[in-house]
Amino acid sequence: QVQLQESGPGLVKPSQTLSLTCTVSGGSINSDGSYWSWIRQHPGKGLEWLGHIYYSGSTHYNPSLRSRVTMSVDTSKNQFSLKLNSVTAADMAVYYCARGRPFVYSSYGMDVWGQGTTVTVSS
């Protein structure tokens, strides 16, 4: 059974870079067709998809963050990562990683989620 676990600093200074890693266990990040996503949730708010990466390294980013976000994958470690630069207080949120899996008609759904990690932006 695939499980995901986020890791990284819970506190980032303004203007610096937020770096998080998601470790995949119980399965391979090389799963055909699966996209590995990052989603965030501001306190008391809804969900925002940040982007995803395929095991090959192919990425799609949310245009709202495209200039600040970078995702990468390390298949040897079964991990994928998020970097968000020039952070501000508006980036304070719970960050989740998730697996986007294709279902019928190649409709993707995020069926496995990490527990989430809280990121605070403060000097």
Partner 1 sequence: DIQMTQSPSSLSASVGDRVTITCRASQSISIYLNWYQQKPGKAPYLLISAATNLQSGVPSRFSGSGSGTDFTLTISSLQPEDFATYYCQQSFSIPWTFGPGTKVEIK
Which part of the chain contacts partner 1 (CB under 8 A), choosing from 7-15, 68-76, 84-92, 97-105? 97-105
Interaction between residue 107 and partner 1 (CB under 8 A): yes
Rounded Cα–Cα distance for residues 67 and 118 (Å):
22
Interaction between residue 8 and partner 1 (CB under 8 A): no
By beta-carbon proximity to partner 1, the closer residue of 15 and 118 is: 118
- What residues from 13 to 72 belong to the interface with partner 1 (CB under 8 A)? 37, 46-49, 51, 60-64
* Minimum CB–partner distance for residue 96 and partner 1 (Å): 6
* Minimum CB–partner distance for residue 80 and partner 1 (Å): 16
Q: Are 45 and 61 in contact (CB under 8 A)?
A: no
Widest CA span in the chain? 47
Rounded Cα–Cα distance for residues 33 and 64 (Å):
25
8 torsion bin: left (phi>0), alpha (psi -120 to 50), beta (else): left
* Minimum CB–partner distance for residue 114 and partner 1 (Å): 7
